[in-house]
Structure formats: C-alpha cells, structure tokens
Amino acid sequence: MRVAYFDCFSGVSGDMCLGALISAGWPAAELEALPGRLQLEGVRITVGEARRGPFVATRVEVGVEGRQPHRHLKHVRAMIEAGDLDREVQARALAVFERLADAEAEVHGSSREKVHFHEVGAVDALVDVVGTVEALRALGVGEVYASPLRLGRGAVRSEHGLIPVPAPATALLLRGAPVEMPDIEAELVTPTGAALLTTLVRHWSSEPSFRLERVGTGAGGRDLKEQPNVLRVLIGESLSSGLPSREVAVLETALDDENPQFVAAMVPRLLDQGALDAMVVPTVMKKGRPGMMLVVVAEPHQAAALAESLMRETSALGVRARIDRRYELARRPIEVETPFGRILMKVATHPDGSERAAPEFESVRAAAERSGRPLREVSEAAIAAWARAGR
C-alpha cells in the first residue's frame, strides 16, 4: 500500500498541501482544470516556484474575479456533489467541510447548517480541499501520516477583527492531534490545513516504514525569518504486510430514549439499504442512563443516505461520521453439496494463499429446517464437504 507522510515542519495550509502534492508528481494541469469540474466561474489557478530559505518549492495561488458569496454547508455540499469527481473524492472532501462546519458552529454557538464559512468557505478553500483529496487519490495514496503540527503565536486579522493564533476554529479542529507551540509570530496552521489533516490522517507519528518514491515541497504564502515556510510530503510503498485494505465510512449515533425493539429492527433495514455492517452496542450515557450505540459501516458514497435513514427512523438528532481504513481478506462465495442439500459458503483467502471457509447462516438454517436436523450438524457437514472438495 502506498503511504504519504506530511512533514509539517512549518505548519500546514491548503495551498501548501497542493504545492507539495504537485511537486510530488500530481500534474499541475489537473489542478488548473479543477474549477471547471466544480463549475466555479472566474477562478484562475497559478502554479509556479518560490524560494523559501534554501528550498525551491512549488507555490499555488488561487485568483478570483469578482465577489464570491459566503457559503453555507448545503451550498458547498451541492457544489461537490454536482462536480465531476470520483465518489470517494466527494465523500472525503465533504467530510473535511463537515468537520470545518462543526468547528465554526462550536465557535459561534450555532449549528453546522447555519454557519457561514467566511474565510474557510471561500473559493480557494474549495480548490484546496477537493484538490488535495483528488491529488492523494491520483497518486495512489491509501494511508496518510503526519508529524506534530507547529502552530505559531500572535494574532491574525479576520472578518471579525484581530483573533489569536491558533484561530478559534483551528484550535477546536486540532483537539486530539499532537501540536507544538514554537516562538514564531505567525499563523502556521490555517483552518483549512487543520481540517484536511485531522480528517485524512489516521496516524500522527514518525515516518512509517516505507520505500521512498517521491518527495514534494510546497511553499507557504510568506517568508519567515525563523525558518523556511514549506510543507514536505514523502510518498512511498509501505513495507508492512500486504493485507488488502480500503476506505469505509463509519457512522455512529448514541440513543438513550429509543425503544430497543425499534433499534433492533433498524439493523436489517440498514443492511438492506446497502450498509456493509451494522451493530448495536450497549453503553452508559450521561447521568448514568443506559443507552445504545448504533454503529454502521458503509461505502463512503452511501454514508449520507444511511445517516439520513438513521435520523429519520430513530430518535437520533445527529450522526457522527468518519472515514476509516478497513483491512480485509479477499473472499468469494461457493456452494457445496451436503446430505441436507446445497449450502452457500464464504471462502476467505489470506495473503499467504491459505484459505478458510464458513457456511452462511441463513443457508444453514434453511437446510436445517428442511431436514429437521440441528444447525450444528448441517454446518459441520458443509465444512466437511468443502474440505473433501480439496478447498
């Protein structure tokens, strides 16, 4: 699996991500075509070189003709969903903007659907977020790592006047991420950069073990006297196990005021709607009340529809969503002949080529009901038939 490691020596911003990924091999022409794919008019992207200390780095600038409106999440969602984009790219980009919206809502005491994005909702943020996600996909990156984020100090001017560094939304976005506070009077981590990495990164650590293939260097918008203002990305093939993996969406909602029978009935309904898995986990909620955690695993492009079903058919007022990486064995269905009839089985293949098989329960139950024999006897007969067939 190919991995990317973001070396955030001088923080991170959306345009620095783009510059680093173009420097690492993503064609600049793909980024320049992105406004058209998002139906953004009057947007011009310039890709060039900039010297930052000893580095010659790639600098990306987004120019906008005319005034752009402040956008709500629904407007951003509509633009991304209508764009000429891969569904996986759409899902990951939307996850970044939803994370941004949640942080802005918390800062302003509002909701994600009501907040204006202000700076982070400008056209350049759309280009930064969608472009970064698209570039990672195009470069074949399956896992993202990053170093601790260096935040800087001081204050920056915004539409609300002077605000401290890190900006309020940035600070909220970085909860749970490792950070450093160097004595540098500058905003090193922007809200867009924070939202991108905290959404995409699954591992905050030193570089993983991988065979280095590409190195990209993106330039920030200003020179710093203390250090070169650059972001590096290192891309290569992981040296870990070759276990196949892919991205899945994980949805969670906690319920303490719902009829358990209704929740149990939701599980097969969610599976019928396309969920890969669904489960109910007993939990203890605030004030010691017993509750249930409903967890759904789905393809990323189906996350929004399944979240809507959860809120429509249960008492849930919100659903948490994230993109996780799932390691999985290759599997195939087969049928075996037994004294109780044909039984459907699922055969999984390990990376070393060995296999294991398990009967599908519904197929076993149907055969047991037809024959009047115990479930265990039918299941064991199916496994024995598979073993006799030479696997």
Q: What is the pLDDT of residues 116-170, one digit of tens each?
A: 765 444 788 899 999 999 999 999 998 899 999 999 887 767 666 777 888 888 9
Residue pair 152/184 in contact by the 8 Å Cβ criterion: yes
Closest CA to 98 of 196, 180, 220: 196
8 A C-beta contact, residue 24 and residue 60: no
Query: Would you say 147 and 6 are in contact if contact means Cβ atoms under 8 Å apart?
Result: yes
- pTM reported for the whole predicted model: 0.63
- Can you tell me the distance from the alpha carbon of 201 to that of 145, in angstroms, rounded to the nearest whole number? 5
> φ, ψ for residue 110 (rounded to 5)?
-130, -160
- Give whole-number Cα distances, 43 to 31, 34, 85, 91, 124, in Å: 12, 10, 18, 23, 9
24 with 111, same domain: the answer is: yes
Which CATH number goes with the domain that contains 336? Answer: 3.10.20.300
Give the CATH number, domain containing residue 273. Answer: 3.30.70.1380
Dihedral sign (CA 328, 329, 332, 334): negative
Regarding whether 312 and 163 lie in a shared domain, the answer is no
Task: Using DSSP, state whether 162 is helix, strand or coil.
Answer: strand
Q: Are residues 345 and 216 in the same domain?
A: no
* Structural domain boundaries, residue 358: 330-388
pLDDT, tens digit, 9 for 90 and up, residues 72-98: 888 888 999 999 998 889 989 999 999
> Within this chain, do residues 181 and 65 fall inside the same structural domain, yes or no?
yes
Residues 225 and 339 in one domain: no
DSSP helix/strand/coil, 50: strand
Q: Which residues pair with 359 in a beta bridge?
A: 345
| Whether residue 25 is found in the same domain as residue 71 | yes
Number of domains in the chain: 3
- Which of 279, 310, 327 marks a domain boundary? 327
Could you tell me if 155 and 70 lie in one domain? yes
Mean pLDDT value across the chain: 88
284-316 pLDDT, tens per residue?
A: 988 888 999 999 999 888 899 999 999 999 999
Q: Distances from the Cα of 310 to the Cαs of 254, 268, 286, 380, in angstroms?
A: 11, 13, 21, 38
303 by DSSP, 3-state: which?
A: helix
DSSP category for residue 87: H
Angle (nearest 5°) at CA 279 between 274 and 282: 155
The half-sphere exposure of 48 on its side-chain side, counting CA atoms within 13 A, is: 8
